[in-house]
């Protein structure tokens, strides 16, 4: 399985809302004692661990968000990981901070990272998405500054609690029980 956390590269974006997907992969890596390291061949920070006899590969692309598929395709193609065995964690405007949802398939919903991943994987959309709520600023013209800025301390605490809950249920996802994980996660609110 490939678990991807979407983000923009560089210190200036590290703590911005758009990097909420990477916060999940960082937390999952920490929970498994994995250090992520840069691998230019896969255009990202990578790591791996074994779970119930299977290799789980972690990836945080170091490309900009709208080029995320460059990283996912490079790693998935090399290790022959089908799209159906990919989990992509990303920020979600349509959910408030503290809410996390897991779903399978669907469109990109205007998210440029998802749009590029779908495109680079031959328009296949049948992968899991971990949607990390970051809230909506209320006006479409404010979306870009909203996602590229840091959340308030209170919102970050809510996001972190939701990410911790997702990490807690990651074993279900990794063993193929996405439906069970959805039942437990999709009702969670920090």
Which residues are identified as catalytic?
18
CB within 8 Å of 36: residues ≥ 6 apart: 25, 26, 29, 45, 46, 47, 58, 60
Contacts of 50 (CB under 8 A, 6+ apart): 56
Tell me the two tokens of residue 39: 């691998």
C-alpha radius of gyration, the chain, whole number: 15
Strand ranges for 40-186 from DSSP E: 44-51, 54-61, 86-92, 100-104, 128-133
Distance CA 162, CA 156 (A): 10
In the three-class reduction of DSSP (H, G, I as helix; E, B as strand; rest coil), residue 3 is classed as strand
């Amino acid at each position: 399985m490939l678990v991807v956390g979407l983000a923009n590269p560089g210190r200036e974006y590290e703590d911005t809302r758009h990097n909420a997907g990477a916060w999940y992969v960082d937390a999952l890596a920490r929970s498994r004692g994995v250090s992520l390291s840069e691998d230019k061949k896969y255009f990202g920070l990578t790591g791996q661990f074994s779970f119930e006899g299977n290799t789980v590969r972690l990836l945080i692309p170091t490309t900009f968000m709208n080029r995320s598929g460059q990283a996912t395709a490079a790693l998935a193609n090399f290790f022959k990981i089908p799209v159906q065995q990919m989990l992509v964690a990303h920020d979600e405007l349509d959910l408030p901070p503290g809410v996390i949802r897991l779903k399978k398939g669907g469109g990109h919903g205007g998210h440029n990272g998802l749009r590029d991943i779908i495109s680079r994987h031959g328009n296949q959309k049948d992968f899991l998405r971990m949607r990390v709520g970051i809230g909506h600023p209320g006006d479409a013209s404010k979306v870009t500054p909203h996602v590229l800025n840091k959340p308030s301390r209170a919102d970050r605490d809510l996001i972190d609690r939701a990410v911790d809950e997702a990490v807690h249920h990651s074993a279900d996802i990794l063993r193929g029980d996405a439906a069970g994980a959805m039942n437990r996660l999709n009702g969670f609110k920090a």
